[in-house]
Amino acid sequence: MQIRIEEKLKRIRQISDLLQQEQTDLDQALALYHESMELIQACRASLDQASLQFEMLKRPNKPDDHA
């Protein structure tokens, strides 16, 4: 099951909050940073795909030349 973009953004915000806490050690901070970068990349891919689909829907339908 694929995680929705809203859930990914929520997790990115959680990670940001955790990274701002003083008790987060370096190893944990690096792991969280890596996780957030993967989530950001996945969000960008989802947004790019949605943008492409939106652009395709905006294009006027051309009649089929072979009909």
Tens of pLDDT, residues 29-49: 999 999 999 999 999 999 999
Instruction: Identify the pLDDT of residue 29.
Output: 96
Q: DSSP states of the chain as a string?
A: -PPPHHHHHHHHHHHHHHHTSTT--HHHHHHHHHHHHHHHHHHHHHHHHHHHHHHHHHSPPPPPTT-
Over range 1-16, report the average pLDDT: 92
Structure tokens at 18: 């955790």
The pLDDT value given to residue 65? 53
**Spatial distance between the Cα atoms of 7 and 14, rounded to a whole number of angstroms:** 11
Is the separation of the CB atoms in 33 and 19 below 8 Å?
yes
pTM for the model: 0.77
Task: Please determine, for residue 63, whether its predicted confidence score (pLDDT) is greater than 80.
Answer: no
The whole-number pLDDT of residue 60 equals: 81
